[in-house]
Amino acid sequence: MIQYSFYRIFIFIIVFLGLWVAGLRSWLLLIAAAAISAVLSLVFLNRPREKFAAQIEHKVEERRLKSGREYRSAEEDEDDEVDGKSA
């Protein structure tokens, strides 16, 4: 998790410095750096992002299994209420 965040920050800093050297000095520097680094992160950090998402999904699944509760969508709960069943 920390590795992905580090990569994102690193890309932002590199883009920020590149735009600074190129002469961009106003508040547009932050906006442009954020936009460009976001696009670059989508392109170049696909594998770390998928790994990060898998870690989160694994932790959520572990917590669900520990709690002993089954995931139910809001629609399923509403259907049971309409049918008169208790959850």
Instruction: Give the pLDDT confidence score for residue 10 in this predicted structure.
Output: 96
How many structural domains does the chain have? 1
Q: Answer whether residue 67 shows pLDDT above 60.
A: yes
- Structure pTM? 0.63
Which residues make Cβ contacts (< 8 Å) with residue 64, sequence separation at least 6?
A: 70, 71
What is the rounded distance in angstroms from the CA atom of residue 24 to the CA atom of residue 41?
21
Q: Which domain holds residue 7?
A: 2-83
Segment 30-54, tens digit of pLDDT: 999 999 999 999 999 999 889 888 9
